[in-house]
Chain A
Amino acid sequence: MEFPTRSSPYLPVANDLSRLMRKVMLALVPGALALFWFFGWGIVFNLLIATSTALLAEAAVLRLRGKPVRPALLDGSAALTGLLLGLALPPLAPWWIPVVGVLFAIVIAKQLYGGLGYNPFNPAMIGFVVLIISFPLQMTLWSPPTGIGHEGPGFKDTLQLVFAGRPPEGETLDTITMATPLDESKTQSGLDLTWDEILSDPRFGNYGGYGWEWVNLAFLLGGLWLWKQRAIQWHIPAGMLGGLFVISLMFYFADADGYGSPLFHLFSGATMLGAFFIATDPVSAATTPRGRLYYGAGIGILVYVIRTWGGYPDGIAFGVLLMNMAAPTLDYYTKPRVFGQREEQDD
């Protein structure tokens, strides 16, 4: 009798790339629902446009590169990039915003570097940064979280706005959009208002901005589930949230009038989405346990710096990309101690 041979181990493997990606997508659901609840149909359009663009772009480039298309599409990595970028975009942005961002993310930031596993930078965040640098106006088109001021645009109005660029009857873009709390706080503190004065505005809710604090809580929930499922390790989220918490606490203690509270920073903007879903992209992150902790902490600190002193309302994308650059060095200097080796030779 003849038997086939190959190398050990032989047991069936339980783990799978597409399963991993599906878990991440599933964990995004609560956060996506919260965004939809507060910001309306624009979120859905963004997700649909971004995801389908991602799949099409991935398929097209793989074809051009002469690589098998089906397995790569089925692994879910392209769809996930689309979803993550879609979740980061303002709901009233015109349709071509997600298209341009995702095209850049998939074609340039991912496939031109060699495809899955070879990209040094987080593709979704590259797409985001291209958009925020090139189209700053369109990137501020956030609708107010439903419930404050007036009702947000409905399904039809949003459809018209996104695809035809026409605001609803009797409205202008300015009247139906509203700056996000992070944006607002930056403008206001530029006007020498104290944080107490800024926060007295009802849109700031309890901690991170009305609506935004719920969105962040929902992403936190999904993230914790992901960690429980062992799809991500705790190091990067803990590092990032810890870094952000410590630095914001320091400035808050020094001058509570001039700086936002740690809770404001933890539950505003894309903090939780970034900590659990974006910074944890394994391909571009540091990979040693200690390296991941530093990597996360670096992002947390950069996010604070950019939010507080930088020119952009949120700093997740820049923080992640800057730390992507540091990942190889972090890995090199944080190699774990191998079993049976001494920590440091004294002699």
Chain B
Amino acid sequence: MQQHMVTLLEKPATFHGGLHLPAEKAQSLTGPLKSAAIPERLYVPLSQNIGEAAEPVVKTGERVLRGQLIARSLGYISAPVHAPTSGVVSDIGDYPVPHPSGLSATCIVIDSDGEDRVADSGLKMENVYLSDPADIRQRVRDAGIVGLGGAGFPTAVKLNPGPDHVVDLLVINGAECEPYISCDEALMCCRPNDIIEGIRIMRHALHAKQVVIGIEDNMPNAIDCLQKELDRLDEKDIRIVPVPTRYPAGGEKQLIYALTGEEVPSQGLPIDIGVVCHNVGTAAAIARAIHHGEPLISRVITVTGAGISEPCNLEVRIGTPIASLVEQCGGYTDEAARLLLGGPMMGFALRTDTIPVIKTSNCILAASSKELPDPPPASPCIRCAQCTDVCPVNLLPQQLYWYAFARDMEKIQDYNLFDCIECGCCAQVCPSHIPLVQYYRFAKTEIWDMEREREKSDLARRRHEARLARLEREKKALEERRARARKSLDKKPKAGDADAKKADIAAALARVKAKKTENADAVPRNTDNLTTEQRAKIDTVEQRRNGKTDGA
């Protein structure tokens, strides 16, 4: 439970490290926010968020309407999936999905019928501000809303602070610090009403005492648009605070620190200090669901880079293949040499453009080899500690690298590997061009692997031990039985009255003989152990049968 209330600072605090990076946002912010055309075929992955994948509730060949539930959530940390448009489910199977591994995963494939007919979602709510927060949470959950800032954590979970926590501050993240990405800025400029409405709903659901929108100070337009909307609504309790433009100011913990001067505990959550943080896009999605009954079937995405003919921001149906969006932006230029999903600091490179946009996709970056060149070959680390200077988490990146390189997985955890947010600042300044973040990812997966292995071997060991214990128990039981048998034998009269013994033996022999004759056919028959009624029935049948034979 938090001890004191978090308060907003008058002047934003400066977090350690970070980098000034070129913004590269202007080229994608030239026109209004357009809606992308719906492609003929959409690939909707079942897993688009942190947590459990959804489970299909439709079958191949089934007709679906826009917004219809096609896969239900499994478990608390999970989100349902809805049909992005109307059409026919043509397949449920493995297709390439947005993942750094380049592997495939289960998708529901929908062939659009071009009509885009809508289903009634039942999400729409009247009198939102009089309703029970639990009801709002349920609808947000049913709408399949996950954090749209990138991580994709199911939003309903983050709208439930639990009975032990008071939400002092709701932080709305509009910082969007990564170069090239401008989808949040476009949304703030073009849909301020949705954002503010969504914030109000969240404030109600969380009983948040204060609300602040944190925006990097290089987005004056966005700040202006949101402020105008606040003024229009005469909303005085939502504040906009410009934060200094420095990557990664949009990191949840960095933004909260900049606004409040408080650090979210290592390995902890913002709610541990009474703060909840949501992205502006998530706020807008909540407003669309609660006020308009629209589940999360589309999002705004930036399509940009020197490899794109007409960079822009598009509102896109989930499941639209990237190739289709590139086409709508005038196609690739001759310079296109690299394709990223996400920004140049934390995104990942794609091999092909056939993969679909999912709920967490914020940017498609087709870059020239000049924009994102191949790095020079790596040299040895000279421990210059420039990485230490820029680490926003105050880690010692070169020590982490050293232990990852040496595969010392114990030591690397002593150096707090799991506090690393993989922002890429260290690798960006490394004079030796070492792909540091890759080493940290490798170490993390290695440790997760080790833990799984350990769990497995723990289980095997427990099983083995249980088996040994059981064998031991059985052995003991047997011995006890034997001991008891010996004891009872001992109690029986011993030699002395040999006649009695002889009589016993004779009796036993007689019993055996009798049994043998009786059980000549030892197999039990199904006519044994019957009730009297059954017996009677059988007897009558027997009689009839006998009668028949007699008559014949």
Which A residues are closer than 8 A to B by beta carbons?
A: 1-17, 19-20, 71, 75, 77, 115-118, 230, 233, 282-283, 285, 287-289, 292, 331, 335-342
Report B255 CB to chain A, min CB distance, Å.
Answer: 13
Query: Which residue in chain A gives the minimum CB-CB distance to B424?
Result: A9
| Contact B380–A8 (Cβ < 8 Å) | no
Q: Is B438 in the interface zone, CB < 8 Å from A?
A: yes
CA distance A3 to B430 in the complex (A): 25
Q: Interface code B421-463, partner A: CB below 8 Å = 1, 0 otherwise? A: 0101001111111010110010000000000000000000000
Q: For the complex of A and B, list the 5 residue pairs with the smallest distance between their C-beta atoms, beginning with the closest.
A: A117-B380, A9-B424, A340-B266, A5-B349, A7-B438
| Contact B377–A2 (Cβ < 8 Å) | no
Q: Interface code B77-102, partner A: CB below 8 Å = 1, 0 otherwise? A: 00000000000000000000000101
CA distance A17 to B348 in the complex (A): 26
Residues of A within 8 A of B339 (CB): 1, 3
For chain A, what secondary structure do more than half of its interface residues adopt (helix, strand, loop), or is it mixed? Answer: loop
Q: Is B157 in the interface zone, CB < 8 Å from A?
A: no
| Contact A17–B398 (Cβ < 8 Å) | no
Contact of B379 (CB < 8 Å), options: A1, A116, A288: A116
Q: Is B330 in the interface zone, CB < 8 Å from A?
A: no
Q: Is B31 in the interface zone, CB < 8 Å from A?
A: no
Residues of A within 8 A of B433 (CB): 13, 16
Contact of B372 (CB < 8 Å), options: A12, A335, A341: A12
| Contact A3–B349 (Cβ < 8 Å) | yes
| Contact A118–B380 (Cβ < 8 Å) | yes
Residues of A within 8 A of B227 (CB): none
CA distance A3 to B375 in the complex (A): 16
Residues of A within 8 A of B179 (CB): 11
Contact of B428 (CB < 8 Å), options: A5, A13, A75, A337: A13
Q: Is B21 in the interface zone, CB < 8 Å from A?
A: yes
Residues of A within 8 A of B437 (CB): 7-9
CA distance A11 to B21 in the complex (A): 9
Please report which residues of chain B, range 389-413, place their CB below 8 angstroms from some CB of chain A when the two chains form the complex: 389, 392-396, 398-399
Report B500 CB to chain A, min CB distance, Å.
Answer: 77
Report A222 CB to chain B, min CB distance, Å.
Answer: 18
* Stretch binding the partner chain, chosen from B200-208, B209-217, B350-358, B505-513: B350-358
Contact of B430 (CB < 8 Å), options: A11, A13, A19, A292: A13
| Contact B340–A287 (Cβ < 8 Å) | no
Q: Which of A2, A287, A336 gathers the greatest number of chain B CB atoms within 10 Å?
A: A287
CA distance A30 to B104 in the complex (A): 61
CA distance A7 to B348 in the complex (A): 7
Q: What are 22 A-B contacts defined by CB distance under 8 Å?
A: A3-B338, A3-B351, A5-B350, A8-B424, A9-B424, A10-B345, A11-B179, A11-B344, A13-B429, A17-B432, A282-B384, A288-B388, A335-B415, A336-B388, A338-B393, A339-B15, A339-B266, A339-B393, A339-B394, A339-B419, A340-B253, A340-B264
Residues of A within 8 A of B427 (CB): 8-9
Additional A-B contacts beyond A3-B349, A335-B415, A338-B266 (13; CB < 8 A): A1-B336, A3-B353, A8-B437, A10-B349, A12-B373, A17-B432, A71-B377, A115-B380, A230-B386, A287-B399, A289-B385, A336-B396, A341-B416
Q: Is B61 in the interface zone, CB < 8 Å from A?
A: no
Q: Interface code B1-43, partner A: CB below 8 Å = 1, 0 otherwise? A: 0000000000000011000010000000000000000000000
Contact of B351 (CB < 8 Å), options: A5, A285, A292: A5
| Contact A10–B384 (Cβ < 8 Å) | no
Report B308 CB to chain A, min CB distance, Å.
Answer: 13
Residues of B within 8 A of A282 (CB): 382-385
CA distance A16 to B374 in the complex (A): 14
Residues of A within 8 A of B430 (CB): 13, 15
CA distance A16 to B437 in the complex (A): 18
| Contact A7–B441 (Cβ < 8 Å) | yes
Q: Is B496 in the interface zone, CB < 8 Å from A?
A: no
Q: Is B58 in the interface zone, CB < 8 Å from A?
A: no
| Contact B16–A339 (Cβ < 8 Å) | yes
With A3-B350, A339-B16 as given contacts, are A20 and B338 in contact (CB-CB < 8 Å)? no
CA distance A27 to B64 in the complex (A): 71
| Contact B428–A9 (Cβ < 8 Å) | yes
| Contact A341–B431 (Cβ < 8 Å) | no
CA distance A51 to B530 in the complex (A): 109
| Contact B383–A341 (Cβ < 8 Å) | no
| Contact A336–B102 (Cβ < 8 Å) | no
| Contact B383–A283 (Cβ < 8 Å) | yes
Query: Which residue in chain B gives the minimum CB-CB distance to A114?
Result: B380
Q: Is B75 in the interface zone, CB < 8 Å from A?
A: no
Q: Is B265 in the interface zone, CB < 8 Å from A?
A: yes
Q: Is B346 in the interface zone, CB < 8 Å from A?
A: yes
Please report which residues of chain B, range 490-539, place their CB below 8 angstroms from some CB of chain A when the two chains form the complex: none
Q: Which of B349, B429, B431, B433 gathers the greatest number of chain A CB atoms within 10 Å?
A: B431
| Contact A8–B344 (Cβ < 8 Å) | yes
Residues of B within 8 A of A11 (CB): 21, 179, 344-345, 372, 428
CA distance A1 to B327 in the complex (A): 13
Query: Which residue in chain B gives the minimum CB-CB distance to A337?
Result: B394
With A3-B338, A8-B345, A10-B367 as given contacts, are A287 and B419 in contact (CB-CB < 8 Å)? no
| Contact A287–B379 (Cβ < 8 Å) | no
Query: Which residue in chain B gives the minimum CB-CB distance to A334?
Result: B396
